[in-house]
Amino acid sequence: MTYLDLHSHSVASDDSRATVEQYLKWINVLRKRGFTVDGIVLTEHRQYDFDVDYSQLAEQYGVIVLKGAELDTCFGHMLVYNITPGLARDVDFGDVKMDGRELIKAARHHGGFVVPAHPGRFGIGLVEYMALGERFDDVSIVERVNGGSKPEENERADELCQRTGYLGTGGSDAHLASHIGRVVTEFKANIATSEQLVEALMSGQFRPVPIAETAAAPVS
């Protein structure tokens, strides 16, 4: 079992005010309070830095740190996991109007995986585009619980999953240290790398859980 926060932003994102080390310190605060968070995925806005290496920090604090991205598309924000140089070559991460459907295909082609973020969010979530008649045949998983969304927006994401059969992940969407881990995804698999994260997503063996529900979880 692995509990990962699949959506977080460090100071590399323009609107976040948390360093990666502050996130890792806070996860240890959460652990002292009895909660379980095994790791985080940093999903910086509109960018991916191949050079930055968090392995030393990860080891120091005993937290898995993976890297992804949250990209702006013409169909809302999309979380991208297991980003490869090939994907970064084919997709302009800074293009806020990129075709989201093409991004999903490109990520899959390069061994990555795309999960539409906060699909119930007003004005920008996938639900809005589906209501306009857009189809997303390549989507199978969405972010069902987003820690930064309004309750009614998460309800819309929940309804979307019930209606379509989409599977759902959970992520804090943290922009502050103390918000990390407030929503996580519980995976049946043990995950330590981005490749394993993609495999675990494709297995369908996961569910979103609020931090409170991790309190009784066995330590992994």
Partner 1 sequence: MPTAIDYEYDHSLYGVEHESGPFDVTPEIIATYTRSVGEDNPIFTDADAARAAGYGNVVAPPTMCALFERGELPDIKLQFGRRQFHGGQRVEPRAPVVAGDRLTASSHLKDVYTKTGRSGTMVHVVWETTFRNQDGTVVAEVQRSQVVRE
Partner 2 sequence: MPATAKLYFEDTELGDEIGPIILSVTDEQVIDFCSLWGNPHPNRFTDQAEAERVGLDAPIVPGIMSMALVSRALTDWAGPGVVSDLDLVFRGSVPHNQPLHVAFQISDTSQQDGLNQVQCDITMTGPVPDRPYIIGTALLTLPSRE
Among 119, 125, 148, 181, binds partner 2 (CB under 8 A): 148
Which stretch in 82-90, 94-102, 140-148, 173-181 sits in contact with partner 1 by CB under 8 A? 94-102
The gap between the terminal CA atoms of the chain, to the nearest Å, is 6
Point out which residues pair with 65 in neighbouring strands: 40
User: What pairing do the DSSP bridges indicate for beta strands 76-81 and 64-73?
Assistant: antiparallel
Q: Which partner from the list partner 2, partner 1, none does 176 bind, CB cut-off 5 to 8 Å by kind?
A: partner 2
Regarding 155 and contact with partner 1 (CB under 8 A), the answer is: no
In this chain, which of 5, 38, 44, 72 binds partner 1, going by CB under 8 A? 72
Nearer to partner 1, 62 or 94 (CB): 94
**Residue 179 binds which of partner 1, partner 2, none (CB < 5-8 A, kind-dependent):** partner 2
Instruction: Give min distance, CB of 174 to partner 2, in A.
Output: 10
- How is residue 161 written in tokens? 């999953």
Name the burial class of residue 151, with classes exposed (0-12), middle (13-18) and buried (19+) by CB atoms within 10 angstroms of its CB: exposed
Count how many Cα atoms sit within 13 Å of the Cα of residue 147 in the half-sphere of its side chain.
25
Q: How many helices (H) and strands (E) does the chain have?
A: 7, 9
Binders of partner 2 in range 22-41 (CB under 8 A): 22, 25-26, 29, 32
CB of 175 to partner 1, least distance (A): 11
Give residues with Cβ within 8 angstroms of 12, minimum separation 6: 42, 44, 47, 49, 52
Site residues (CB under 8 A) for partner 1? 14-15, 45-46, 72, 76-77, 94, 96-97, 121-124
